Amino acid sequence: MSRSLDGLSRTLGYNFKDPQLLQAAVTHRSAGGQNNERLEFLGDAVLGYIVADWLYTLFPDADEGQLSRLRASLVKKETLADIARSVTVGDYLYLGSGELKSGGFRRDSILADALEAILGGIVLDSGFEACRACVQRLFSSKVRQLSVLDELKDPKTRLQEYLQSRKLDLPVYEVTSVSGKSHNQQFHVECRVAGAQQSSQGKGSSRRRAEQAAAAGMLDRLGRDPDDG
């Protein structure tokens, strides 16, 4: 293993038994030869499970949708790239000349893929539990920073708080139609925010579900990720 990859192992807190796995994990496809795409595929799947299992244990009262939002906030590209930067993955990437010239070592997508590939490499090198231990080290600060109360709020509550913080009118919800038979109805709701001159639609098996869907759509229209806390 080269001195530079020894340094990456130290920042990761994991020493590879097979250095070639780490070499492959930090090799972008633009560099040619063996690259990190297959390891990234594996790492993505393993990371998703580890984070899901972790959150399931940490938040026993959270429902499926709430757990999904929390997981999404942890495994999204921006979060992975931020963690990759914290262990200086960009300093060790092997990139083709084009990516080097365009600053690929700073690009979120490349950093996120490399981090997932490293995790995939750890699974192959030492197994699942070693990978879990590494994920918990790398992600612990992000997990501690989770704004759980915000993340677990429903879209209507988040929309109301978002509008109030900007001194905009509160949303108005209107059922525009109800379709289907009595035992299988589908509600269609429009959400309007007068001050923002915006409207959105939502549908669901109940008025409440339709309103929540419309609120999520409004958050998206206003430029706020409906899954952000």
Each residue's pLDDT tens digit, 92-145:
999 988 888 788 888 899 999 999 999 999 999 999 999 999 999 999 999 988
Residues 176, 199, single domain; the answer is yes
Please name every residue paired with 189 in a beta bridge, in sequence order, or none if there are none.
Answer: 175, 202
**Overall domain count for the chain:** 2
pLDDT band, residue 225 (cuts 50/70/90): very low
Measured CA to CA, the distance from residue 113 to residue 111 in angstroms comes to 6
Enumerate the active-site residues. Answer: 44, 116
Comparing C-alpha atoms, which of 200, 205, 229, 204 is closest to residue 216? 200
Alpha carbon separation from 203 to 51, 146, 210, 214 (Å, rounded):
30, 29, 4, 7
Residues 92, 57, single domain; the answer is yes
pTM tops 0.75: no
Of 148, 164, 187, at which residue does a domain stop? 148
Of 104, 123, 148, at which residue does a domain stop? 148
Of 148, 179, 199, at which residue does a domain stop? 148
